[in-house]
Structure 1
Amino acid sequence: MAYDAVLSAYEKSEFDDGRWTRTVYRRGSGPAVIVIHEMPGLHPAVVAFADRVAEAGMTVFLPVLFGVAGRPASHPAGMLTMVSGMCVRWEFNAWRSGRSSPIVDWLRALARKAHAECGGKGVGAVGMCFTGGFALAMMTEPAMVAPVLSQPSLPLGKKNAAGVDASPAEIACAKRRFEEEDLSMIGLRFKGDPFVTAARFETLKREFGDRFEAIELEDDTAKPGPLKHAHSVLTLNLAETGPTKAAEQRVIAFFKERTGA
């Protein structure tokens, strides 16, 4: 099936950083924002969020890190993608705290390229779910100025409930840049989400203080989605009115302000 029909308004290209090559979809004009899709892939609800970012006056970059571009999140094959990402593919660090995923190096290179091509004050990025913490680790790239962590779910496992998928050096770099460049970060979660515990957000609050803007939503504000619990703040559980929509608008405004759109 032509799942990528949902991406018909986007330009498709390949980006090679010398180590990995990944497909990237691009749309819009103005400063760059990288939207890093969640599990099980670049599904239509992620594209819909990216559409709204582009409509707000920014150039959206949609890298394809796993899965099939445009395939619905409810597709049965999505389970194979999740198992592969969590257990097989070494470019992702799913189970260890205090360490980022190797694929973040590729995302940093993409941010440099996007900033060189699109200009503005810098690049914004949002990770979601499995990729939720990637935008924090990307802060070692000077072009990155607006990190958003939407339901950051790594590292997995109860023993890692308070952990984050960024190294001490990456956290220290982000803290320094936040102070020296007057930057900040947004994190989003539903309060009852078992994949994104309150303990993880407490770690981020402790490390970054008022430079970390925590948006923690009540579960009953979520649009019903494929999971039994509320999880995907900006996509599958986004309601068109109420607190989740306000959270989406806050993220888009943050990107506009920080990138200079």
Structure 2
Amino acid sequence: MTTTTPRRGDPLDDFTRRTIDVDGTHKTVYVTGTGPAVVLMPEMPGISPDVARLARWIRDAGFTVYLPSLFGTDGARATTEAGRDVMRRACVSAEFRAFAGGGTSPVTGWLRGLARTAHAECWGPGIGAIGLCFTGNFALTMALEPAVIAPVVNHPSLPLDDPAALELSAQDAAALADRIHRDNLTVLAYRFQGDTWCTGRRFAAYRALLGDAFDGRELPATAANPDPPPFFRDLVGCAHSVVTAHLVDRSGHPTVRARDEILDFLTARLAPDA
């Protein structure tokens, strides 16, 4: 695995750029690898070099990665101001429910369709779904699709205005809890201690909904990369992105162990005979 820290834009030229249609809605999806499918959703402010690096690690572990473009400039290492503009637009977009009381984000319906497409195209018992930050909870919502059997929820930040709430309608929350327990699934989740965007109260809300099926893991804030990209340094302002912007790519580091735990989780559920 690479040991370099991405500092410039990423051309994404080792991905196949596709346009995928779900019920008449077309979105760009970057695809790479072979093996069981994993849908990796970007964090704010988009498909950054750090998100692309994570996609390659997943690919190199034996999976086909589907990386949808949901916001921002694909491959860019956004400045603070550019990232702030992307976040503002996403917060008022009809596709997302960034604030409490909004219920489930409509874009998750399209993502569930992407999950069906990915599963049909790749072998395996099901697919994985990984959410990051703004899309963190989407990985759980995608589990309403039966093909999704390995959801990973990383530092979910929605809703932005209620640290103890989940970005779910009451109906979807009940359906998800039923599906997770009926099919004996586990939801793997990560956050940094002291993260003000994804608080311990949010993880407590997940545990209240899912019980022991929610495997929420917390890393000390001191383990975060002290020199993240400008958007995370200036706007996020705290230890937040466990396996992307705040990962320290050094053998044995807590964030690298978290990455490897995610890869092991995917392998155990999607390629148990690997």
> Under TM normalisation by the shorter chain, which class is it?
over 0.9
Contact 2:40/2:131 (CA < 8 Å) preserved in 1?
Answer: yes
Q: What root-mean-square deviation, in Å, do the aligned CA atoms of Structure 1 and Structure 2 show?
A: 1.6
Aligned partner of 2:3 in structure 1 is: none
Q: CA deviation at 1:197?
A: 1.0
Which of these residues, 232, 236, 241, is aligned with residue 232 of structure 1?
Answer: 241
Name the amino acid aligned to 1:65.
L
User: Which residue number corresponds to residue 27 of structure 1?
Assistant: 32
Q: Is the 8 A contact 1:56 1:252 kept in 2?
A: yes
Q: 1:252 aligns with which of 253, 260, 263?
A: 263
Q: Is 1:141 matched up with 2:152? A: no
1:8 to 13, 16, 20: 13
Q: Contact 2:29–2:66 (CA<8 Å) still a contact in 1?
A: yes
Which residue of structure 2 aligns with residue 61 of structure 1? 66
Give the number of aligned pairs. Answer: 256
Q: 1:191 aligned to 187, 190, 193, which one?
A: 193
Gaps of 5+ in 2: 1-7
Of the structure 1 ranges 73-82 and 143-152, higher mean CA displacement relative to structure 2 is found in 73-82
1:120 pairs with 2:120: no
Instruction: List aligned pairs for 1:161-176, cutoff 5 A.
Output: 161-176=163-178
Q: Which runs of 5+ in 1 are unaligned?
A: none
In the TM superposition, what whole-angstrom CA distance separates every residue of 1:152-172 from its partner, at most 9, and x where no partner exists? 000011xx1110012222222
Q: CA deviation at 1:37?
A: 0.2
Task: Return the offset for 1:112.
Answer: 0.1
Amino acid at match of 1:210: D
Q: Which residue in the other structure is 1:101 paired with?
A: 105
TM-score normalised over the length of structure 2 = 0.89
Identity %, equivalent residues: 41
Equivalent position SS for 2:130: strand
CA distance in 2, matches of 1:221, 1:143: 34
Residue matched to 2:89:
84
Return the alpha-carbon distance in structure 2 between the equivalents of residues 125 and 150 of structure 1: 11
TM-score, length of structure 1 as denominator length: 0.94
The aligned amino acid for 1:99 is: G
SS at match of 1:77: helix
Q: Which range is displaced more, 71-80 or 129-138?
A: 71-80
Kindly indicate whether the alpha-carbon contact (under 8 Å) linking 1:97 and 1:163 is maintained by their aligned counterparts in 2.
Answer: no
Q: Distance in 2 between matches of 1:47 and 1:74?
A: 17
1:203 aligns with 2:205: yes
In the alignment, is residue 48 of structure 1 matched against residue 82 of structure 2?
no
Deviations 1:26-59 (A, max 9, x none): 0000100000000000000000001000000000
